Amino acid sequence: MSVTQEKLLHALNNQIRLAILAALKSGKKNVTELTTLIDAKQSNISQHLACLRGCGLIRQTRQGKYYYYELVNPEVSRLLDEMDVVIKSLNWTNEQTQVACAAHMP
């Protein structure tokens, strides 16, 4: 696995970061809007936004006194959609799926 693949997997390996990316699929949002959509504290969301910016998946722009966040390109949205296609092909459901692999993480 390449370092760039590891970087992408790191960015996607968190429930809050995935929720942020999903929320940004519909367009720019500020931290307050993201806090309303995602069940997490503003400080926690801000930390994950910094991670996603550092990984290059989102960008920050200032409009007046607010910072807005958006996906860097449509390919990030397409990646999330493709993940859903793979999940569907594996017949995984939220009710049946455990995050940890039972063979390696009891």
- Domains defined along the chain, listed by start: 3-89 (1.10.10.10)
Whether the model pTM is above 0.75: yes
Q: What is the reported pLDDT for 93?
A: 79
| Cα angle 99-87-1, degrees, rounded to a multiple of 5 | 75
Q: Using the structure block, give the residue that is written with the tokens 């069940």.
A: 39
Spell out the long-range contacts of 76-83 with Cβ–Cβ below 8 A and sequence spacing 24 or more.
Answer: 76/21, 77/25, 80/18, 80/21, 80/22, 80/25, 83/12
d(CA 102, CA 52): 29
pLDDT band at 55 (very low <50, low <70, confident <90, very high): very high
Q: Does the structure show a pLDDT above 90 at 10?
A: yes
Q: What is the pLDDT of residues 58-79, one digit of tens each?
A: 999 999 999 999 999 999 999 9
Q: What stretches of the chain adopt beta strand conformation (E)? A: 29-30, 58-63, 66-71
**Which residue did the predictor score with more confidence, 106 or 22?**
22
pLDDT band at 94 (very low <50, low <70, confident <90, very high): confident
Q: What is the reported pLDDT for 13?
A: 93
Average pLDDT over residues 80-104: 81
Number of helices (H) and strands (E), helices first, in the chain? Answer: 5, 3
The answer to whether the CB of 33 falls within 8 A of the CB of 45 is no
Q: What is the pLDDT of residues 42-52, one digit of tens each?
A: 999 999 999 99
d(CA 22, CA 64): 25
